[in-house]
Structure 1
Amino acid sequence: MSIVQGHWNGVSMNDESLMLGLERGFLDYTVPANADRIPQFISNDPSRGEKVITTMREEMRNCDSFMFSVAFITYDGVNALLEEFKYLRDHGIPGKILTSQYQNFTEPKAIRKIQSLGNIEIKIVTEEQMKMHSKCYIFSRKGTYDVIIGSSNLTNNALCSNGEWNVRFNSLSTGELVKDIIDSFEKVFEHAMPITDQWMEVYEEIYDRYRFSTPAFHDIPAQNNGIRPNKMQEEALRGLQEIRNRGGTRALVISATGSGKTYLSAFDAKAYGGRFLYLVHRRPILNKSFESFRRVLGSGASMAKYDSSQGCPDEDYIFATVQTMSNPEVYRRIPRDRFDYIMIDEVHHIGAPTYQAIVDYFEPSFLAGMTATPDRSDGFDIYGFFHHNIAYEIRLKQAMEYNLVCPFHYFGISDIEVGGVSLDDVSRFSDIEFEKRVEYVIDNAEFYGHGGDRLRGLAFCSTLKEAEMFSTMFNRRGYRTAWVSGSLDKDVLEILIERLESDEEDYALDYIFAVDLFNEGVDIPSVNQVIMLRPTESPIVYIQQLGRGLRLDKGKDFVTVLDFIGNYDKNYNIPIALSDDHSYSKIEARRFVASGDSIIYGNSTISFDEVSKAKIYESIDKASFSKDAILVEAYMELKSKLGRIPKLIEFRKYGSMDVLNILLKHNSYHNFLKKKDKDYHTAFSPKAEEMLEYLTKIIAPGKRVLEVEVLKMICSGGDSVKERIEEMHPELDQNALNNIVSVFDGTFYKNHKNHKNHKNHKNDIKLISENKVCDDFLHMMEEAGFKEAVQDLIDLGLDNNTSYSPLYRDTNFVLNRMYTYDDVCRLMNWKANVNAQTIGGYKFDKTTNTFSIFINYVKGEDVVESQRYDDHFENRNTLIAFSKSTEGKGANNMVCVGDQVNNDVRIHLFVRKNKKDEGSKEFYYLGELDFVSFMNDEKPVKIMYRLKDEVRSDLFDYFNS
């Protein structure tokens, strides 16, 4: 019994929950308690995926009122939480904010934004009153207070990346500590200065004088002895040199947009020496690249921009466009061996005839290419072209970790609808309806704002007509905009880009609306707002468009990304693109939607409104990531990168898709390869193929390492298998030992006739019989390639098993991981597999004394009315569930549950959103339950359970979305 339970009587359940939380936080960390009541240490810890902003979002979404006392407020901090501030405003939840004029750090723009919300009273403590330096956030909720107090101001850095230390605790209103905090807040708030327009005008002048007296921003760090490579560039330079050291003549650098590819080229060209050619595909990029090289090489370097009127260039460093250099009349003036080193920018275009003409002609000693997107759909093998020499690869996730790109604040906004239909197709709606959409976009663009002083926006549209209409209607509302497409004259295009970057009032543009343009090859560092007005069909294109705003630039702390999300089938591409996770894992995609802030690195933030979040969840559920088109594309991309058929473990090693998607669809890697890869010629006997399918199902996921280790032992042959297992794992009890033997002797699935791996064969699949390895299996091991295929599975199983830890409370399960019915039967150490129909929602296994509950959280229309029960979580610790329609409190199963304490039965919970999750039949394991009470006397019985471990917040959000 806990100390609190032993000393407090007659308290409410809410009070008891609070006291257990305090005991857990301050006396004994082993005491079970509600997560919302446990005092917590709150910090920004990238290694643990923790950010202060995640806790702030949760508190703001669940409060009845709030009070902030923070010394400093910046616009980027307010902007990062705008979705939550909007939620509070729309739900009429009042707040008070107290800030200070201390050091003139608080931004006027941030104050004005808070004032515009309408539900918040904000006051300021001037330096004449005190040098206020507090950082405290107070949230009132249903008679209790949550308090976050520590070091975090309301700034983007403090919320996301600084080394902040805070404590969050919960208190009743009668608690002395929270009473003192609130009294102090109210006392200061009462005497603080109301913020008037007159005061703001004076403060803005003071703030600007203070701001412009600080050192200027430098996007490239400089030392006394010149420009130095950043971390990414240092690593890439080493990679390029290593390829040359081993005799390589070609190399590919894969680098995220904005991460410094041009400076990398200059550093490497300088290190290499000799005569150098730098090729780009647009003149503006050439001009900017030339200036970047000049900064690295120095004013004395021999450099020139090449044009079609020249003969053979004399300078050491030549800069040319592909369009110029691909003309035979131009390149034939230059000797083939004129250049020692050629570097090609945006080299994913290398398959085009213009590029091929150049590389076919010149004969450099070293040829290198750079791109952010090597994964092309034109069929050209870019990896093979560069001899599979990848000098370095840095994707968006790592570029953010290295602080090489500008932070972004992403807002997923549900697109406007008329009659339940999204206004996302210009051709289907009237001008009046489209005008409503324009107003909706403008309202949101103005609300969510932008980093920096002047708006410079790029908007990506689906069609040329849409781009034209948006531009026209924005102009009518006082904005200065233009539209662009690939058909526009290049000189006009360059003028429009210049106007977007300009600060001249009569010349500047606020927005450019683009269609099929600006995905790549354009450098506009000052862009501070990106609007997605088109469906996300491809993660690659999405990242290209997002990248237009990610370049670092003076005066731009962040870029705002507004994504208007309609009812698109491929909305699942949004979390895949933003997370830079190419595994096509539904688990990770859902987790990112729920809590992207804790996953994404640095000062970038992710927010979805409730409707857009639900649309993405629905898209993920409906998506089949095991479609052959997705599988083959991912496989061929990895094969091209490696120059050979990949091993199973290499899919994760190289950041490709989760290879289990392939195995789930085709039952074995062998089956997939023989159908999809003409270079694969291995053939097995039918029995060997069936054996591989069985082992793939059991071994590849790696959900229990025991199967993998036993298979490894079996592969060596021999007798006394059971005794060898006991010797290898003396900790196994009899149920576990019998279970693992049954998996390999064919008895575990013997009575499960519909098991897909059994097909129509009369004999069960078995690897051992009469306590020794079967001769049939040993004969299979002699078939050419079979042993290697089994070893490939063992390696994959061991690799996957590394993510299945720590095990939960002396079980074979990991909390919040996913398991099928088959997995549960096996990992519960039951004697044999039981099909879903027989389980029927829950099953008690007498031998292991375990009771497993399976819940489809959202009941589909195909579920009969009598079974469409309202199973639900009342909160993250409490589950309300129902028995089968035929069972009352007196049924054996219910007696077992109700008498849990006396019979010591362990009740386990498995939940999935719904059974129509395409391509997946898995449940999230949510740990053990304690029976609380039967809530009625009818059939079915309504039961209250208490979870030993609260539902993880992102899963709770997903289930209830």
Structure 2
Amino acid sequence: MDIRPPARDVLLTLKASLNTAFIDGRADSSLETRPMFLRNAPKEGEKFLCALEEELKDCTSFSISVAFISLSGVTPLLQVLREAEKRNVRGRILTTDYLGFTEPAALKKLRGLKNLEVRLFRTSEARVGFHTKGYLFRHADGVDHLLLGSSNITGSALTVNQEWNVKLASAANGEFAKSAFRNFDALWNARESKALDDVLPNYEAEYKVRRPILRNAVGKDAVRQAERLNPNKMQRRFIRNIERLIEQGEKRALLISATGTGKTYAAAFAVQAVKPKRLLFVVHREQIARQAMKSFRRVLGDAYTYGVVSGTTAQKDFTPSAVFTTVQTLSRPDILQRAKAAAFDWVIIDESHRSGAESYQRIMATLEPDFWLGMTASPDRMDGFDVYALFGHNIACEIRLQEALDEDLLCPFHYFGIAEAVDLPFEERVDAIIDNADYYGYSGSCVKGLIFAKDVKEAFRLEAALNARGLRTKALSGKESINAREAAIARLVMDERESGDVHEAKQPALFEGIEVPGEKEAVPETGKLDYLITVDIFNEGVDIPEVNQVIFLRETQSSIVFIQQLGRGLRKAENKDFVVILDFIGAYDNNYLIPIALTGNRTYNKDDIRRELLSGSRVMPGAATIHFDEISRERIFKSIETAKTNSIRLLKTHFEMLRRKIGRRPQLTDFLDHASIDPTKYLRSQGCNSYEAFVAKHFPDVALKLSGDEVLDRLAGLARIGKGLREAEILLLEAAMDGCSAVLAEAKARNAQSSCRQIPDADWASAIRVLTNAFTQTRDAVMPAFMRAVFLEPNGAGDWRMHADWRKRLCDEPDFETACREYLALMRRLFEERLSGHEYRDTAFCLYEKYTYEEVCRLLNWPRNLNAQTIGGYAYDVATKTLPVFINYEKKVDAIQYADRFLSDSVLMACSKSNRSVDSVDVDRFFKRGAANAGNRIFLFVRRSKDDNEAKAFYFLGEIEAQGQPIPVSVPSSNAKPGEFNAFEVRYRLETPVRSDIYDYLRGALDGDLRTD
């Protein structure tokens, strides 16, 4: 068909993009049209899925030809495909029957979209292979985008596999685009390409025959791999820690590991390493006991003899060297005494979060093994029982959700945040729930879903409404008996082909061991269930691997509960490739907890939460994906804006949680070790200028013994540099604390011997100014709090030593030294984990790290600090010849609207301060005019909003160079005349293109996409 040629400026853009990509990588061009190499690298914010989604959002039509399509590949695209359908974007998708890999369920899902036409190329008729992977997109500007390479539409190919793809842009009349579309049209119109409705029934029949053969081949390969069973990375870490604890004489330890991550195998590998003579494994269900025995036998082989002791075993035999038993049987007094007499070296308590129950307590009070190992996914108890204390606060290993996903230990999830229409009548709301549940679907032959309602009343109301619409659901509350719950779960996990009564005696006792006084027997029910509806009784302690869809119809009030409920669907199961999570999001204050829970980032940094929310699937490990519709995203942004992430209440809560977990006053590095809140939040909290001041004020029972305000003021000085942004201060303080009489010489010697960046003299001089308090401006309003923060003094021999007052305090107050070393440990840890080896060129900055005004002045080696008002949008330091440019890219409506904007990932347009002309000294400095400015260096720092009181730092984006000439502009000003040029714009080229996820985040804010007002 005839394609309108693009405008001249678009053609120039294309030529510039080709020049950047293939001739001169330093040349400016638009990122939108620049050829790009695409791969899957989630840790670096790259997934082919995200590139595909971006094209589907912006195109006017698309044509896709891939060899294979699976439901795991279609499902994460469902939201963007539905949005394209609403915009009436037409699409053609051509796939094949090659090797019988394409899934009929995926084709049916695509067929349901009105804007899509799907055809199946019959390779059996063509007698040739078909292995294309091409995604072709038309755009309104006359430019076609093409994604070509190795990725099919499968979950792994779009997210985690090693795939090579390229993004190309071509004028629609260009030969390349014409050839691609001609070839697609030829395949689309080929005799072998069949309309889906014509061929799907036959292909589905063929698939049902071929699929078991393929699965059997995969299964045999899995068996061969299993025969060479070895511990994974996390299990090896667990084994090392267990061995270390035993060497230290510890008698108890706790393994915290997400459901489905291989706790049983981890325990077996630990037994293999430590080699206890006799072990006892305690579980809450006989079925799990037998499964555990099978796993241990696979790992340990003939090194042990094996036996099960349960209510159904006739002989309660404890003579085998590895016995697997249930808590119900073991807790019986006579059985327990026999177990005690058997003298086990190791006792392993599975699901040890239940160990506060009387039966578990009786067992642990009676048996006397050499070592207790507890295993649980959720040690934090709502009933107040301290599981951590029971196991000596010895956490041998903690395997978190994101780590488990990255290691492919869990079933991938596809999360969809859907705006809940809270103003709809109940019946219409139910219809919306059903519509979305049907559209986003599930993995497997039939739905096996859990619905978490906001309260019991709503749960039973939903049951009635859903059943009236033909679904098979059952609501459960805490009032139902354990047997009734077991029967309901058994009905849920049935396949459609199963029929007949569900007899309780034949079902696994999923809740065996939970003590519920006074419960009554329930009459068994029959028939397959689609959904179980509950409030919170399935948060923990229930193992239903078959669950393939989870629906949230309640406010997220706790990230811990969110993960517990999400985890109900994360265990792997046969014929389950992924789990769909549907979260209906209302206008709740706590919505900011959703991205925190999903990404595992518990720093509570608002800017990080926003960026990760927008990054979505890019930051998720493994094949997991995250999607939010526009309204739900806006609701979360609004919640982030109003969230109090620096509140004393939040800080106290995390302090208390960590204190209970480790059994002592947390040190600052403990917050890092246990993935808790960002410890630097404690360095400057409300009314407290140091961590010790916070603890003394809010937790005096565990506060260090310090003499008073004078000492706290000294520690406030350490807290002020506690982020560990530069190694020079750290080395100087370490040398001083070690008692060196020539601190600078010693610090330089240590730096020379290390493999870290060799610190230049200017950095050492700057660090000395910081540690002698010369850097802090005397007009600074907070200066009185830091008057005593002088760490170093001259040693009389041209070097420095610890200040006499500090030496005296260290001698007089042991806890003062403890506090000082805690800060040093935090600085060292933060520097080595985040910054060391990543410094930008010859500076102490790191790309994409965030810095405050004060930190920028310090790391640029300025003689003194300047306050924010003095700096404004930029400031120049004559001594260092450095000029940092600070951009606030989202401003108040009534603020001066400078035209700061990215033109590409390498080009920024920025406006000067008001009342500046093109002949001003600022222009000379930016454009390096004259000998005095020849060596100037300009650095770029960008943040989202100056109005966010909790996110005061700027992203460092590297060095920039002014290009061309300054452009005079008019900006609103109190003394500006109408039409007068009272400022100027500068076009800057970034030496390093902005990383794609950061660029998209900042550009979205610049274009107004993130506004929530």
TM-score range, shorter chain: 0.7 to 0.9
The range that moved more, 59-68 or 706-715, is 706-715
From 71, 76, 87, give the equivalent of 1:75.
71
Match of 2:917 among 875, 889, 893: 889
Contact in 1 for aligned 2:17/2:30 (Cα 8 Å): yes
User: What SS is found at the alignment partner of 1:548?
Assistant: helix
Contact 2:238 2:397 in 1 (8 A): yes
Post-superposition Cα deviations, 1:698-741, rounded to whole Å, max 9, x if no partner, equal 2x112222332333455556579699979979998897666444
Give, in whole Å, the separation in 2 of the partners of 1:709 and 1:32: 41
Structure 2 SS opposite 1:290 = helix
Give the AA of the match of 2:480.
L
State the match for 2:389 in structure 1: 384
Compared CA separation, residues 712 and 490, structure 1 to 2 (3 A): closer
User: Does the 8 Å contact 1:221/1:227 carry over to 2?
Assistant: no
The residue number in structure 2 matching 1:458 is 450
Q: Which moved more, 1:557-566 or 1:611-620?
A: 611-620
| Partners of 2:716 and 2:789 within 8 A in 1 | no
Cα distance between partner residues in 2 of 1:760 and 1:238 = 44
Corresponding position: 1:545 with 2:565: yes
1:110 corresponds, among 101, 106, 109, to 106
Question: 2:903–2:909: 8 Å Cα contact kept in structure 1?
Answer: yes
Maintained 8 Å contact 2:318/2:339: no
Asked if structure 2 preserves the Cα contact closer than 8 Å seen for 1:254 and 1:372, the reply is yes
- Aligned to 2:465, the other structure's residue is in SS state helix
Q: How does 1:855-874 map to 2 (within 5 A)?
A: 855-860=887-892, 865=894, 867=896, 871-873=900-902
Are 1:943 and 2:985 matched, yes or no?
Answer: yes
Q: Go from structure 1 to structure 2 and tell me whether the alpha carbon gap of 1:747 and 1:887 turns closer, same or farther (over 3 Å shift).
A: same
| TM alignment of 1:403-418, pairs within 5 A | 403-418=408-423
Cα distance in 2 between the residues matched to 1:796 and 1:806: 18
Q: Quick check: 1:139–1:146 contact (8 Å CA) kept in 2?
A: yes
Q: For residue 195 of structure 1, what is the aligned residue in structure 2?
A: 195
Q: Which residue of 2 aligns with 1:260?
A: 262
Is residue 834 of structure 1 aligned with residue 866 of structure 2? yes
Residue 352 to residue 858, structure 1, CA distance change in 2 (3 Å)? farther
C-alpha distance in 2, partners of 1:160/1:713? 47
2:95 alignment partner AA:
T
Counting only pairs closer than 5 Å after superposition, residues 515-914 of structure 1 correspond to structure 2 as 515-665=535-685, 666-675=688-697, 676=699, 678-684=701-707, 686-698=709-721, 700-715=722-737, 716=739, 718=741, 739-755=766-782, 758-759=784-785, 765=790, 767-768=792-793, 772-773=800-801, 774-785=803-814, 786-802=816-832, 803-804=834-835, 806-808=838-840, 810-860=842-892, 865=894, 867=896, 871-873=900-902, 876=905, 879=908, 881-884=910-913, 886-889=914-917, 892=920, 895-896=923-924, 899=927, 906-914=937-945
Paired residues for 1:74-93 under 5 Å:
74-93=70-89
Alignment CA distance shift 1:442-1:119 (3 Å): same
Q: CA deviation at 1:696?
A: 1.6
Rounded to whole Å, the distance in 1 between the matches of 2:908 and 2:451 is 45
| Structure 1 residue aligned with 2:518 | none
Question: Structure 1 vs Structure 2: percent identity of aligned residues?
Answer: 35
Distance, in Å, in 2 between the alignment partners of 1:493 and 1:146 is 53
Describe the SS at the equivalent of 1:806.
Answer: coil
C-alpha distance in structure 1 between counterparts of 2:840 and 2:29, whole Å:
17
For 1:314 and 1:719, the matched residues in 2 are separated by 67
Partners of 1:899 and 1:402 in 2: CA distance: 50
Mapped partners of 1:498, 1:887: distance in 2: 75
1:470-510 alpha-carbon deviations (Å, 9 max, x no partner): 22111121111111112111121111101101124661111
* CA deviation map 1:505-531 (0-9, x unaligned): 661111111112111121211110011
1:926 correspondence with 2:957: yes
The residue that corresponds to 1:499 in the other structure is 491
Whole-Å Cα distance in 2 between the matches of residues 155 and 893 of structure 1? Answer: 58
Q: Between 113-122 and 18-27, report the one with greater CA deviation.
A: 18-27
Task: Tell me the alpha carbon deviations over residues 591-631 of structure 1, each in whole angstroms, 9 at most, x when there is no partner.
Answer: 43222433322222122222222333333343333334433
Range that drifts further, 314-323 or 497-506: 314-323
Measure the CA separation in 1 of the matches of 2:962 and 2:449: 54
- 8 Å contact from structure 1 (residues 227, 295) kept in 2: no
Once the two structures are overlaid, the 10-residue window that deviates more, 11-20 or 337-346, is: 11-20
- The Cα of 1:144 is off from its aligned counterpart by 2.4
| Residues 1:488 and 1:315: Cα distance change in structure 2 (over 3 Å) | farther
CA distance in 1, matches of 2:927, 2:307: 87
After TM superposition, the score normalised by the length of structure 1 is 0.87
1:913 maps to amino acid? R
What is the DSSP-based 3-state SS (H/G/I as helix, E as strand, rest coil) of the residue aligned with 2:569? coil
- Contact 1:306-1:313 at 8 Å conserved across structures: no
Distance 2:146 2:209 in 1: 36
Letter in 2 for 1:79: T
Moved more, 921-930 or 143-152: 921-930
TM-score by length of 2: 0.83
Give the CA deviation at 1:560. Answer: 0.6
Segment drifting more, 452-461 vs 789-798: 789-798
Q: Residue type of the partner of 2:182?
A: D
Counterpart check, 1:953 vs 2:1000: yes
Deviations 1:891-912 (A, max 9, x none): 8466457756675654444333
How many Å separate the matches in 2 of 1:224 and 1:185?
40
Conserved in 2, the CA contact under 8 Å of 1:726 and 1:737? no
Residues 461 and 515 of structure 1 are in contact (CA less than 8 Å); yes or no, is this contact kept in structure 2?
A: yes
Partner AA of 2:198 in structure 1: Q
Match of 1:345 in 2: 350
Q: What CA distance in whole angstroms lies between the structure 2 residues aligned with 1:942 and 1:511?
A: 63
Q: Supply the distance in 2 between the matched residues of 1:131 and 1:391 (Cα, whole angstroms).
A: 52
Contact 1:219 1:552 in 2 (8 A): no
Q: CA deviation at 1:42?
A: 2.0
Distance in 1 (CA, whole Å) between partners of 2:382 and 2:51 is 41
Call closer, same or farther: CA 1:316–1:707 in 2, change over 3 Å.
closer
| In 1, Cα distance between equivalents of 2:99 and 2:21 | 36
In structure 2, the residue matched to 1:51 is 47
Cα distance change, pair 315–727 in 1 and its aligned pair in 2 (3 A): closer
Q: Aligned letter for 2:871?
A: I
User: Contact (CA 8 Å) 1:143, 1:172: kept in 2 or not?
Assistant: yes
Return the offset for 1:916: 4.1
Q: What is the Cα deviation at residue 242 of structure 1?
A: 5.9
Gaps of 5+ in 2: 1-6, 500-526, 971-978
**Is the Cα contact below 8 Å between 1:312 and 1:333 reproduced in 2?**
no
My pick for the range that moved more, 492-501 or 591-600, is 591-600
Q: Paired residue for 1:137, among 135, 138, 145? A: 135
For residues 840-889 of structure 1, the C-alpha deviation after alignment (integer angstroms, 9 at most, x for no partner) is 3443444444444434333346xxx36355655466555555555x5253
Residue 370 of structure 1 is matched in structure 2 by 375
Does structure 2 retain, via aligned residues, the 8 Å contact 1:841–1:853? yes
> Any unmatched runs of 5+ in structure 1?
1-10, 419-431
In structure 1, how many angstroms separate the alpha carbons of the residues matched to 2:896 and 2:929?
Answer: 28
Q: Aligned letter for 1:303?
A: V
Partner AA of 2:956 in structure 1: Y
Whether the 8 Å contact between 1:331 and 1:358 is mirrored in structure 2 is no
CA 748–224 in structure 1, closer or farther in 2 if over 3 Å, else same: closer
What is the one-letter code of the residue matched to 1:933? I
Distance in 2 between residues matched to 1:543 and 1:354, nearest whole Å: 28
Distance in 2, matches of 1:44 and 1:720, equals 47
How far apart are the structure 1 equivalents of 2:258 and 2:163?
29
Q: 1:799 to 1:64 in 2, by over 3 A?
A: farther
Count of residues in Structure 1 that have an aligned counterpart in Structure 2: 927
Q: Over aligned residues, Cα RMSD in angstroms?
A: 3.8
AA aligned opposite 2:166:
V
In 1, the alpha carbon distance for the partners of 2:255 and 2:386 equals: 15
Q: Give the match for residue 179 of structure 2.
A: 180
**Aligned AA for 2:311?**
Y
